[in-house]
Amino acid sequence: MTSLVVNTEPQCLTLRDAIATPFELIAPADAPDQPPRYAGFKAFTSGCLYDSEGARVDPSLRIGGEQLASIDPATLPPEQRGGTWLTGRTLYLGPFMNHYGHFITEGLSRYWKQDIGPVDHVVGYPFTHDNGNILIEEFHCHLAGLLGVPIDRMAILRSQTVFDEVVIPEQLWINNVHVNAHMRSVYDRIRARHAGRNSSGRLFLSRPASKRLGNPLAVEEVFASFGFRVIYPERIPIAEQLALYANCEVLASLSGGGMHNCLFARPGLMTIEVGDTRARRNPVLTQRMANELAQVEAHFIPFGEGTEADIEPKIVRKNLRKILSELPRRGPVLMLRLKRRFGGLSGKAQKRG
């Protein structure tokens, strides 16, 4: 099988007098004529960096993904150059991802450079999430802070800007294509700040309401019967979450952003993913990239081909018996039901990719 992890030396450009064009989210009906490969795309974006001669700086573009494309022209005409001058030294972070799953994968993949030195400004572009609005949350600030990236000072490129000097780290996670092996050092730096504590045991990351799985509560009970602690990550501060992932014995989750947290776990850890209506027979490509990069012992419980949104609990149970080589117990399920009854299922949901 072809590897999804590449091992090339990351590049970091430093340009003077570069130009940033403003971000724009463009509906397909409003986009100029595009090549046939873009037929059926949901949206287009414009906004990137050009060098002082007007040539597009391709490392500034967001690449990878699905049904979304940047359509910035290769050359910026002379009459369209210029803009507000930004003095000093600027760090460019690319499109800012509001959603957790996108942020911890492709979002963090420009945060790898450790010896950039002091910068006067930090800039980024919006993305299509939330109609182009930027929503910085606790997990953004905490993770960026661990990597020494001051996103609390990030300015959004909504007007044309000319940089005195701008530093552009390469995007190392190309969604649905490949990921650079140097991303491991990013997750290692984060994990090192939380590892070495008491074991957090077996964890099952769930969502009380899921768009792609109709019966997550039934799945929770199956995992509880095998000694898994059921948690809802969106209800736990990010620092506590990272400590759980860094020190767990087995990490299990429904498909989606929760499963991406294997990136913060130790290499060789057993992980178990429960498929859904999007990931029926195998993990989606983004998760396969995460599994290979994290070097985990990944297991997958297929959703199946039925038309209903529910997964059969007996199928989950049968798979867990095989994976763990043990039998379920009734007691933990009763405890989980009591906890639900008296603890409720309310809580603010963290955005997930």
CATH code of residue 276:
3.40.50
* Mean pLDDT of the 95-107 span: 96
pLDDT at 116 over 50: yes
Q: What is the pLDDT of residue 188?
A: 97
Q: What is the pLDDT of residue 352?
A: 43
Same domain? For 113 and 57 the reply is yes
End-to-end Cα, the chain, rounded Å: 26
Bridge partners (DSSP) of residue 46 are 24
DSSP helix, strand, coil percent of the chain (3-state; round to 5): 30, 25, 45
Q: What is the pLDDT of residue 196?
A: 87
Among candidate residues 62, 71, 200, 43, the one with its CA nearest the CA of residue 130: 43
> Residue 214 in contact with residue 329, Cβ under 8 Å?
no
Structure tokens at 350: 């963290």
227 backbone φψ class: left, alpha, beta (φ>0; ψ -120 to 50): left
State which of 130, 156, 190 marks the end of a domain. 190
Confidence category of residue 69, pLDDT binned at 50, 70, 90: confident
Determine the structural domain holding residue 40 and report its residue range: 5-190
DSSP 335: H
Same domain? For 152 and 76 the reply is yes
Task: Determine the Cα–Cα distance for residues 99 and 104; give it in Å rounded to an integer.
Answer: 9
Q: Show Cβ contacts of residue 15 under 8 Å, excluding neighbours closer than 6 positions.
A: 49, 51, 52, 57, 163, 165, 166, 168
Task: Determine the Cα–Cα distance for residues 319 and 120; give it in Å rounded to an integer.
Answer: 53
Same domain? For 250 and 339 the reply is yes
Average pLDDT, the chain: 93
pLDDT at 347 over 50: no
Q: What is the pLDDT of residue 84?
A: 96
Domain membership of residue 49 (yes or no) is yes
Listed range (143-147, 183-187, 306-310) with the worst mean pLDDT? 306-310
β-strand 43-46 against 24-26: which pairing, if any? antiparallel
Other residues' Cβ atoms within 10 Å of the Cβ of residue 202: 19
Same domain? For 45 and 151 the reply is yes
Same domain? For 183 and 71 the reply is yes
Same domain? For 299 and 234 the reply is yes
pLDDT digits (tens, 9 = 90+) for 123-147: 999 998 888 899 999 999 999 999 9
Same domain? For 90 and 179 the reply is yes
User: If you average pLDDT over each of 25-29, 44-48, 116-120, 179-183, which comes out highest?
Assistant: 179-183
Domain membership of residue 40 (yes or no) is yes
Q: Among the residues of the chain, which ranges form H helices?
A: 100-104, 138-146, 183-192, 216-224, 238-246, 285-294, 313-324, 331-343
Same domain? For 234 and 110 the reply is no
DSSP 285: H
* Mean pLDDT of the 265-287 span: 96
Confidence category of residue 344, pLDDT binned at 50, 70, 90: low
State which of 154, 169, 190 marks the end of a domain. 190
The number of angstroms, rounded, from the C-alpha of 296 to the middle of its chain's C-alpha atoms is: 17
Confidence category of residue 353, pLDDT binned at 50, 70, 90: very low
Confidence category of residue 221, pLDDT binned at 50, 70, 90: very high
Burial class (CB in 10 A: 0-12, 13-18, 19+), 264: buried
pLDDT digits (tens, 9 = 90+) for 238-265: 999 999 999 999 999 999 999 999 999 9
Same domain? For 218 and 288 the reply is yes
> Residue 266 in contact with residue 251, Cβ under 8 Å?
no
Same domain? For 225 and 320 the reply is yes
Q: How many domains does the chain have?
A: 2
Q: What is the pLDDT of residue 349?
A: 39
Burial class (CB in 10 A: 0-12, 13-18, 19+), 11: exposed
Same domain? For 115 and 221 the reply is no
